[in-house]
Amino acid sequence: MDAVDGMRLALGAREAARAIGVSARTLWTLTKRREIPHVRVGARVVYRVEALEAWLCSRELASKA
């Protein structure tokens, strides 16, 4: 995925929180605990879309059928 295709490579905190369905406060707590992948760009923290998807998949529980 690249920005040329119209897809964003990374999201800001509010966008990332919305994308994964948590509050901005919860996302910040996960970030401070280093429980969620993030990148610092100067003073700003961003979340790579691919890393968020992988993080969610790694936490997905298999349902019993």
User: For 13-36, what is each residue's pLDDT tens digit?
Assistant: 999 999 999 999 999 999 999 999
39 touches 46 (CB < 8 A): yes
Tokens of residue 3, six digits? 């920005």
CATH of 3-59, one of 1.20.58.410, 1.10.10.10, 3.10.450.50, 3.40.50.720: 1.10.10.10
pLDDT mean over 37-46:
96
pTM score, two decimals? 0.82
- Is residue 42 left, alpha or beta, with left meaning phi > 0 and alpha meaning psi from -120 to 50? left
48 touches 10 (CB < 8 A): yes
Return the residue matching tokens 């961003």: 46
Q: How far apart are CA 8 and CA 60, in angstroms?
A: 24
43 touches 37 (CB < 8 A): no
Please state the domain extents for the chain: 3-59
